[in-house]
Amino acid sequence: MSGAQGTAAPGGRLLSVGLVIGGIVSLQFGASVAVLLFPRAGALGVVTLRLTAAALVLLVACRPKLRGHTRGDWATVLAFGFALAGMNSLFYQAIDRIPLGAAVTLEFLGPLILSVATSRRGLSLLWAALALGGVALLGRAGLDGLNPLGAAFALGAGALWAAYILLSARTGQRFPQADGLALAMTVGALLSLPLGIATAGSALLDPVTLGLGAAVALLSSVMPYTLELLALRKLPASGFAVMMSLEPAAAATAGFLVLHQSLGWPEVVAIALVVTASAGAVTAART
């Protein structure tokens, strides 16, 4: 990470924390809406709707310049686009087979491993362990008897999530504002389009499906990815990755409010653990 990120002012870093939290909440509520859309377009069809709509919105809003970029810039955008398409496709395949909370729990292992691998502070191991304990507790009930293929998809999505974190930070350094994200989202949309058309066909053109797909795109792609890209200009990758421990807690909350999945005491305790771990990670990053 650049030196500017490591020496960012406290106020700027706190703003970045707020951006990350906003992105997490938006992403998980978008995932809940996506689950409701699966019967209409299927998992891969929803991925196509999400990425395509998000790419169109970002292209119109950002109007990224295509000239003046190096080969390294374009290589970063292409890799970012592959990560976006792969992460979303695998995750939606996972939540089509296993509960949302369990899928996010398994997917989180990618950012968790990244946080430990990239941190230079021993205290980060403590926060990562605390977050892992909370994630394990949150997924305790749902991890029994999981569909093996669904679990494998979630783990694969976690590996690409870790790649997404690194590539998002690199893209934010190479491109102004959200220009790099707009270009990467376009790459991801183009990659997902053939699979979406093959599996969903004309269902992708249904007005209701299109409207819900646009809502999923706004909640799950445009808002969170833009907020995270901006946040990664101030937060180190290790602190950002541990903050992702809020994802399972947000998924449980979204599942309760949107999908009517109940929360028991183990889930409430788990939420407290991951929030504490995230707060500790941010505090450690500021010292």
Within a 10 A sphere around the Cβ of 9, how many other Cβ atoms? 9
What pLDDT shows up at residue 160? 95
Question: Sorting pLDDT into bands at 50, 70 and 90, what band is 139?
Answer: low
pLDDT (average), residues 91-109: 84
Average pLDDT, the chain: 82
> How many of the other CB atoms lie within 10 Å of CB of 287?
6
Compute the average pLDDT of residues 32-55.
91
Quote the number of domains for the chain.
Answer: 1
Owning domain of residue 210? 3-286
User: Burial of 6 by CB count in 10 Å (0-12 exposed, 13-18 middle, 19+ buried)?
Assistant: exposed
- What value does the mean pLDDT take over residues 88-93? 94
What would the pLDDT profile of 32-42 be if each residue is shown by its tens digit?
889 889 998 99
Query: Residue range 74-86: average pLDDT?
Result: 95
How confident is residue 3, by pLDDT bands cut at 50, 70 and 90? very low
Would you place residue 283 in the very low, low, confident or very high pLDDT band (cuts 50, 70, 90)?
low
pLDDT at 5: 40
Kindly state the average pLDDT of the residues 153-182. Answer: 89
User: Rounded distance, CA 102 to CA 160, Å?
Assistant: 17
Query: Residue 261: what pLDDT?
Result: 66
pLDDT digits (tens, 9 = 90+) for 220-275: 888 887 887 788 777 776 677 677 777 877 887 887 888 776 667 776 787 778 77
Cβ of 78: how many Cβ atoms within 10 Å?
15
Residue 9's pLDDT is 56
pLDDT(48) > 60: yes
State residue 4's pLDDT score.
36
Verdict on whether the full-model pTM lies above 0.85? no
The one-letter code for the residue type at 220 is S
Percentage of the chain beyond pLDDT 70 is 85
Is 60 exceeded by the pLDDT of residue 287? Answer: no
Instruction: Report whether pLDDT(11) > 80.
Output: no
In the numeric block, the tokens 């374009």 are attached to 74
